[in-house]
Amino acid sequence: MRLFTKLFAAIAALFASASFVSCKDVIITADKLPAAAQTFIKEYFPGSDISYAKKDKELTKTTYEVVLQDGTEIDFDSKGQWDKVDCKRATVPAKLIPDAIATYVQTNFPGQAIVKIDKELFGYEIELQNDLELKFDKNGRLVNIDD
């Protein structure tokens, strides 16, 4: 029984230390973001102030999350390339939306703004003002609609 208790304690300690090391969120200043992320924010959200920036370091990757004063959330990969832009109820900057997707939305959902865009393995997922989620492949062809 004593051996089992020691073994259990050792395994528990191993898992506790692994989870501590594998996920470490740290609040950082904007100047600690990768240069590409800083440039992205200045280009697509000029004049917007950063509420906070966070670096998330895991065992296999590092990501960054930025929240602007207006509530916009932007996720970046380790090189500072954007992965997701969530403007809540405001419109995602048009230059971020692939032409085929913008055309599809304008044609099929006139008057609906794109408020979120997320790069996925298969392509893009966007969210409209009315909370409708549309998934597109890498070529901008509609794959799925979720309400």
For residue 58, what are its two tokens? 């895991």
Buried (b) or exposed (e) across 28-49, using 16+ Cβ within 10 A? eeeeebbeebbebbeebbeeee
- State residue 23's pLDDT score: 62
Over the stretch 121-137, which tens digit does the pLDDT of each residue have? 999 999 999 999 999 99
For residue 59, what are its two tokens? 């065992």
Over the stretch 40-87, which tens digit does the pLDDT of each residue have? 999 999 999 999 999 999 989 999 999 999 999 999 999 999 999 999
Q: Where does the chain have alpha helices with state H?
A: 2-22, 35-44, 99-108
Q: Where are the beta strands (DSSP E) in the chain?
A: 23-28, 50-58, 62-68, 73-76, 82-86, 114-119, 123-128, 133-137, 142-146
pTM check: above 0.85: no
Amino acid letter at 100?
A
Average pLDDT, the chain: 89
